[in-house]
DNA sequence: GTGGTCTAGACCACC
DNA sequence: GTGGTCTAGACCACG
């Protein structure tokens, strides 16, 4: 299974976080099904153009989160996440992100209606930007 | 002029960023009017319970952003930000925050309608949380 | 004699340097003739909207340069500067400024001809900007 | 990569500004190509005979300007500057320097033709001085 | 009294 | 090993 990960050197975010985020998204969105075996650390590292240590950390963090599972001498697999859990996880993650954005707005004195308008603009921005790419 | 700044040591964000963010919000929201003299770095540092240098960095960063203005030997002041600029700045900041949240959602396979629903939930969450405080 | 001095609070340059520079220009350009009595420190300070100390420093610096002359209990006067000296001073000051600019250019790999072209552009910029003001 | 930086303690300009200016010139003139890794702050500091912090400030300022890019734990690199941008940057910098010099001249009552003559003299001065070095 | 620069030294996050 | 943050303390320039 080839994992499509993009690490951008421009981002200020550390590599391991960028990768974790993308892997997590792939798993929680269902694109990587449970039981799937992930590439070996070395393989992954080579593909992503980064150090083995970085990937080891990614696998370990996600294992601690309970969405990966490492079996000694065999490999690393996508753990079972009940569908209910997956939905809950997804929902929580998205709402948390939105709440954060709204709080920024509120601290800058945005009213609720203004925020709704701007949310629609932001939506448009993300999705038309998507077409262009 | 007393500046109401909250620095929480718990947050992983560095102090200077926490303070910058809050000060920026106070200025852009218009609560701190242009020309207002800010407390001296030493005064502010004492109030915030941190080093003088941390505050100096905050003032300097915001000066580079163009929203503060410091004159040696005299003090640090809120710079003139044309009302138009302030509006633009505010709008840009909020939309950027929303775009980021929406992108998280999209990477987790949220559809547009789902995102709209969750946005309303998030709104409710922030504002009732506000009542409780 | 009223002295037309402009101190801009926006400039990062310290007040006393801004004032010195302008006064020096007024004297060396011949607008303030030798023997002219300058306003008292207090008067000048009030006019310029700054502290007495600042003006005291200006007068003293220019006296050290030999272009002002203070007579105890009488006042401060523009010193005699021979016409030859004045010309030399003017020329030196301008050439020094130009040399500095040229050195910046050279360190950025500008060729001589390019610099000549840009000098003409800069000239145009300064003088049309002048019309507009 | 060895960076040829000269810091003179005589100059009244702060060290960090002297270094920034020279580094900026090296990058914008194309002598340091994009992607080049700069020496670590500790190395550079030792070479320049100053504190680590001074160099960190230099790197950070230039990163804010967008001409350096630093990745934690990896190092500091020359950022991508489109050739067009580099030209624009160079041109702006040189013209700004010339404009400043011309304004000094104008405040000392130099006419345009006189300034042109003196500009040629200044040019000669800089370039023969160059031969002598 | 203000801010501006520079120092040395500590501890953390990242690769 | 890299850079990132924060500290305390010294000295200078400015008003």
Q: Please write the tens of the pLDDT for every residue from A15-30.
A: 899 899 889 888 888 8
Q: What is the pLDDT of residues A72-100, one digit of tens each?
A: 888 999 998 777 778 888 899 899 999 99
One domain for residues B122 and B101: yes
Q: Which residues of D touch A57 (CB under 8 A)?
A: none
Quick check: A10 and D72 CB within 8 A? no
Per-residue pLDDT at B114 exceeds 90: yes
Q: What is the 3-state secondary structure (H, E, C) of chain D?
A: CCCCCCCCCCCCCCHHHHHHHHHHHHHHCCCCCCCCECCCHHHHHHHHCCCHHHHHHHHHHHHHHCCEEEECCCEEEECCCCHHHHHHHHHHHHHHHHHHHHHHHHHCCCCHHHHHHHHHHHHHHHHHHHHHC
Residue D5 domain-assigned (yes or no): no
- Name the least confident of C35-39, C83-87, D114-118: C83-87
Residues C64 and C91 in one domain: no
A65 pLDDT band (50/70/90 cuts)? confident
Q: Does strand E come within 7 Å of the CB of B86?
A: no
The answer to whether residues C115 and D123 touch, using CB atoms and an 8 Å cutoff, is yes
- Split at pLDDT 50, 70, 90, the class of A130 is low
Rounded to whole angstroms, the Cα distance separating C108 from C128 reads 26
Whether CB of A49 is under 7 Å from strand E: the answer is: no
Give the Cβ contact number of residue C30 at 10 Å.
14
User: Percent of chain C beyond pLDDT 90?
Assistant: 45
Does residue C70 form part of some domain? yes
pLDDT of C115 over the 90 cut: yes
In this structure, are B93 and B111 located in the same domain? yes
What per-residue confidence (pLDDT) applies to A87? 86
Residue A43 is assigned to a structural domain of this protein: yes
B99-103, B111-115, C33-37: which has the minimum mean pLDDT?
Answer: C33-37
A29 to chain B: which residues are within 8 Å by CB? Answer: 107-109
Share of chain A above pLDDT 70, in %: 88
> How many structural domains comprise chain D?
2
pLDDT of residue C33: 86
Query: Are B24 and B68 within one domain?
Result: yes
Q: Chains C vs B: touching, with 3+ CB pairs under 8 Å?
A: yes
> Is it the case that residue C130 has pLDDT exceeding 70?
no
In a domain? residue B105: yes
* C106 and C120 share one domain: yes
A132 lies in some domain: no
Chain A residues 16-55 within an 8 A CB cutoff of chain B: 21-22, 25, 28-30
Range of the domain at A105: 83-127
- Specify whether C29 is located in the same domain as C71: yes
Question: Looking at the partner chain, which of C91, C93, C105 has a beta carbon nearest the beta carbon of D104?
Answer: C93
Q: Is residue D6 part of a domain?
A: no
- Same domain for B69 and B113, yes or no, is no
Determine contact: C10 vs chain B, CB below 8 A: yes
Distance B48 CA to F9 C1' (A): 19
What is the rounded average pLDDT for all residues in chain B?
Answer: 87
CA angle C120, C121, C127 (to 5 degrees): 90
Measured between beta carbons, the chain C residues lying within 8 angstroms of D109 are: 29-30, 90
Whether residue D8 is predicted with pLDDT greater than 80 in this model: the reply is no
Is residue C23 within 8 Å of C5, Cβ to Cβ? yes
Four-residue CA torsion sign, C110, C112, C118, C123: positive
Statement: the CB of A14 is under 7 Å from strand E: yes
Q: Are strands A75-78 and C75-78 parallel, antiparallel or unpaired?
A: unpaired
Do C91 and C43 lie in one domain? The reply is no
Q: Are residues B20 and B73 in the same domain?
A: yes
Check A14 against D69: CB less than 8 A apart: no
What is the arithmetic mean of pLDDT over C49-77?
91
Claim to verify: residue D74 and residue D97 sit in the same structural domain: no
Give the lowest-confidence range in B103-107, C82-86, D34-38. C82-86
Q: What is the pLDDT of residue B1?
A: 60
Q: Is the pLDDT of residue C10 over 50?
A: yes
Mean pLDDT across B13-17 = 89
Q: Is the pLDDT of residue A71 over 50?
A: yes
Same domain, A58 and A44: yes
Counted across chains A and D, CB pairs separated by less than 8 A come out at 5
Residues D70 and D117 in one domain: no
pLDDT tens per residue, range B70-95:
988 889 999 987 777 788 888 999 99
Query: Is the pLDDT higher at A107 or at D83?
Result: A107
Contact between D123 and C110 using a beta-carbon 8 Å cutoff: no
Q: Can you give the CATH number for the domain in which D35 is found?
A: 1.10.10.10
Q: What b/e string do you get for D82-112 counting C-beta neighbours within 10 Å, with b at 16 or more? A: eeeebeebbbebbbebbbbbbbbbbbbebee
3-state SS, chain B, equals CCCCCCCCCCCCCCHHHHHHHHHHHHHHCCCCCCCCECCCHHHHHHHHCCCHHHHHHHHHHHHHHCCEEEECCCEEEECCCCHHHHHHHHHHHHHHHHHHHHHHHHHCCCCHHHHHHHHHHHHHHHHHHHHHC
Residue A133 pLDDT exceeds 50: no
Distance from CA of D103 to the nearest CA of C (A): 7
Looking at the predicted structure, is the pLDDT value of residue C26 above 60? Answer: yes
In-domain check, residue A9: no
Is the C-beta atom of B124 closer than 7 angstroms to strand E?
no
C4 found inside a domain: no
pTM exceeds cut of 0.85: no
C-alpha–C-alpha distance, residues C95 and C92, integer Å? 5
Task: Summarize pLDDT for B38-60 with one digit per residue, the tens.
Answer: 999 999 999 888 999 999 999 99
Task: Reply yes or no on whether the pLDDT at A131 is more than 60.
Answer: no
The two beta strands, B68-71 and B75-78, are antiparallel
Bigger pLDDT: A129 vs B38:
B38
Q: At what angle do helices D15-28 and D52-65 cross, to 10 degrees?
A: 50
Last residue of a domain, one of D38, D55, D78: D78
Whether C77 contacts chain D with CB within 8 A? no
* Per-residue pLDDT at D98 exceeds 90: yes
Residue D122 to residues C112, C115, D116, Cα–Cα distance (Å)? 11, 12, 10
C133 has pLDDT over 50: no
Q: Would you give the DSSP letter of residue C37?
A: B
Q: Which residue is nearest to nucleotide F1 (CA to C1')?
A: D73
**Nucleotides of strand F lying closer than 7 angstroms to a protein CB:** 1-9, 13-15
């Amino acid at each position: 299974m080839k994992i499509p990960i993009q690490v951008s050197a421009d981002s200020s975010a550390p590599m391991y976080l960028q990768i974790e985020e993308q892997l997590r998204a792939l798993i929680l969105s269902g694109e990587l099904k449970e039981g799937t075996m992930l590439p070996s650390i070395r393989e992954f590292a080579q593909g992503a153009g980064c150090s083995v240590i970085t990937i080891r950390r990614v696998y370990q963090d996600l294992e601690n989160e309970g969405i990966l599972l490492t079996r000694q001498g065999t490999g690393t697999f996508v753990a079972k996440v009940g569908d209910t859990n997956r939905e809950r996880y997804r929902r929580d993650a998205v709402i948390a992100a939105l709440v954060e954005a709204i709080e920024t707005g509120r601290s800058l004195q945005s009213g609720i209606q203004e925020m709704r308008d701007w949310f629609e603009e932001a939506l448009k921005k993300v999705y038309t930007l998507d077409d262009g790419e």
